């Protein structure tokens, strides 16, 4: 049973919610979405969980550290990854979701997929509550109709091309204006189809150069014009470790810095590998905001 959280001083100017299986999940204080990768080739090796015990341990860890949503992905989206078919993705998810539903029946699950068939399977047969689509409905044109029919929150991300081609699609006329235009069109299309709960994800690391990622982060507050929940996912990404001269395994500090900035500039959901540190960032930024007069 989901509980409505009391109004937080984190941001008194808005009250955002998403509908999770008939209950309103309050976003007046930001939430953490913990990443569960059931892939053998995720860019961050420490996040790969494939055995039954690894899956149980990881979900338990996310929940114990304060994560509210589990985002499960069966397909790597790094540029060098091999594209799975929807049936291959379903087979991976069927195994993991069966374990999670048995061990953690009340957990809020999100599925990271761009296939309509996968989303339908996960929601209708496995109780998944949120669709997280990196492609904004571009890699499977049925996705918007599926999201409308399933009537669950839909994470709308900005990306060009596919994970395999996105690195070559970074030529924008005006980066921020182009991305805002993309979201205005997509949100209008989703609303026309009857999708009520839309979460915006700017798509850090997808079809953007390092410089463009930081320009986008610096412009994060502008997404408030959409009056929709904002998800930020920068956990251990290349935009951090290429700038600092490190690797993904050494990028927790940089991740926390950017998560803190995102929280100060309107982020409602942090999608992360490191849940404890993200929860702490939320608590600290929330406390500081009590003194904003």
User: How many Å apart are CA 72 and CA 95, to the nearest integer?
Assistant: 12
> Is residue 2 domain-resident?
no
Please give the C-alpha separations between residue 68 and each of 3, 31, 33, 65, 279, in angstroms, as whole numbers.
12, 6, 6, 9, 10
Report residue 17 as tokens: 């919610």
CA terminus-to-terminus distance, the chain = 35
Q: How many domains does the chain have?
A: 1
Q: Is 1 a member of any domain?
A: no
Tokens in use for 288? 């500081």
Domain that holds residue 249: 29-287
| CATH code of the domain in which 33 resides | 3.20.20.20
The confidence score (pLDDT) of residue 49 equals: 53
Contact by Cβ (8 Å): 89, 74: yes
Q: Could you tell me if residue 9 is inside a domain? A: no
pLDDT tens by residue, 190-202: 999 999 999 999 9
What is the pLDDT, as a whole number, of residue 82?
78
Residue 14: inside a domain: no
Separation CA 275–CA 269 (nearest Å): 12
Residue 81: name the closest of 109, 125, 32, 48 by CA. Answer: 48
Q: Would you say 36 and 273 are in contact if contact means Cβ atoms under 8 Å apart?
A: no
Q: What are the average pLDDT values for consecutive 10-residue runs of the chain, which has 293 residues?
A: 38 71 95 92 52 93 98 83 89 94 97 98 98 97 98 97 91 97 98 97 97 98 97 97 95 98 98 98 95 74
3-state SS class at 185: helix
Q: Catalytic annotation on 271?
A: yes
pLDDT (0 to 100) of residue 45? 52
In a domain, 20, yes or no: no
pLDDT of residue 83: 87
CA distances 284 to 5, 106, 181, Å, are: 18, 28, 34
* Active-site residue, 237 included: yes
**Residue with the two structure tokens 């395999």:** 164
List the catalytic residue out of 237, 238, 283, 287.
Answer: 237
What does the chain come to in residues? 293
23-26 and 269-272 as β-strands: parallel, antiparallel, unpaired? Answer: unpaired
Catalytic residue among 94, 271, 283, 287: 271
Predicted local distance difference test score (pLDDT) of residue 80: 64
Question: What is the phi/psi pair of residue 269, to 5°?
Answer: -135, 130
Q: Is residue 24 part of a domain?
A: no
Does residue 18 lie within any of the structural domains? no
In DSSP terms, 108 is beta-bridged to 69
Question: What average pLDDT does the structure give for the chain?
Answer: 91
pTM of full prediction above 0.85: yes
CB-based contact 45:53 (threshold 8 Å): no
What is the per-residue pLDDT across 196-233, written as a single tens digit (0 to 9) for each? 999 999 999 999 999 999 999 999 999 999 999 999 99
Does 21 reside within a domain? Answer: no
């Amino acid at each position: 049973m989901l509980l409505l959280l009391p109004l937080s001083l984190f941001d008194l100017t808005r009250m955002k919610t998403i509908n999770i299986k008939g209950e309103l999940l309050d976003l007046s204080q930001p939430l953490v979405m913990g990443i569960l990768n059931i892939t053998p080739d995720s860019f961050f090796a420490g996040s790969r969980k494939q055995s039954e015990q690894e899956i149980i341990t990881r979900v338990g860890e996310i929940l114990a550290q304060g994560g509210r949503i589990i985002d499960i992905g069966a397909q790597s989206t790094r540029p060098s990854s091999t594209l799975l078919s929807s049936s291959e993705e379903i087979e991976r998810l069927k195994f993991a979701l069966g374990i999670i539903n048995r061990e953690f029946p009340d957990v809020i699950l999100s599925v990271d997929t761009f296939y309509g068939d996968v989303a339908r399977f996960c929601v209708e047969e496995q109780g998944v509550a949120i669709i997280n689509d990196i492609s904004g409905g571009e890699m499977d044109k049925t996705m918007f109709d599926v999201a409308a029919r399933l009537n669950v929150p839909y994470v709308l991300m900005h990306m060009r091309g596919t994970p395999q081609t996105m690195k070559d699609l970074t030529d924008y006329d005006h980066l921020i204006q182009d991305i805002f235009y993309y979201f205005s069109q997509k949100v209008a299309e989703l609303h026309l189809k009857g999708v009520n709960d839309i979460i915006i994800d700017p798509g850090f690391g997808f079809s953007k150069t390092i410089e463009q990622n930081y320009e986008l982060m610096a412009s994060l507050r502008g997404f408030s014009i959409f009056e929709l929940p904002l998800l930020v996912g920068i956990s251990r990404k290349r935009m951090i470790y290429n700038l600092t001269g490190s690797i993904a395994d050494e990028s927790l500090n940089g991740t926390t810095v950017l998560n803190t900035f995102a929280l100060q500039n309107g982020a409602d959901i942090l999608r992360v590998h490191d849940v404890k540190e993200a929860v702490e960032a939320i608590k600290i930024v929330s406390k500081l905001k009590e003194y904003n007069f």
